[in-house]
Amino acid sequence: MARTEALVNPVLLRWARETAGYTLGEAASRLTGVRDAETKLAAWERGGEQPERPSVAQARKLAALY
């Protein structure tokens, strides 16, 4: 099955995490099923020209967490 990336706004991801009261490390430790979660979460929040994006399933996990 192909991986479908979620088109998420990096600034919105950081805002949601901070509004939920999580540090990057706390959010990563609660994000189940994501390898190297803290590094990936930091990259998702950083964005850039060719950002790595979470999959739709990972974005749903972030939404449930936040």
CATH of the domain at 15: 1.10.260
Q: Is 9 left (phi over 0), alpha (psi -120 to 50) or beta?
A: beta
Q: What residue numbers bound the domain in which 54 lies?
A: 10-65
The CB-based long-range contact list for 22-26 (8 Å cut-off, 24+ gap) reads 22/65, 22/66
- Whether residue 21 is contained in a domain is answered as yes
Record the tokens describing residue 28, joined without a space.
């990563």
Q: What is the chain's mean pLDDT, rounded?
A: 92
Q: Is 35 left (phi over 0), alpha (psi -120 to 50) or beta?
A: beta
Convert the pLDDT of each residue in 34-49 to its tens digit.
889 999 999 999 997 7
Give pLDDT, residue 14. 97
- Whether residue 29 is contained in a domain is answered as yes
pLDDT over 80 at 25, yes or no: yes
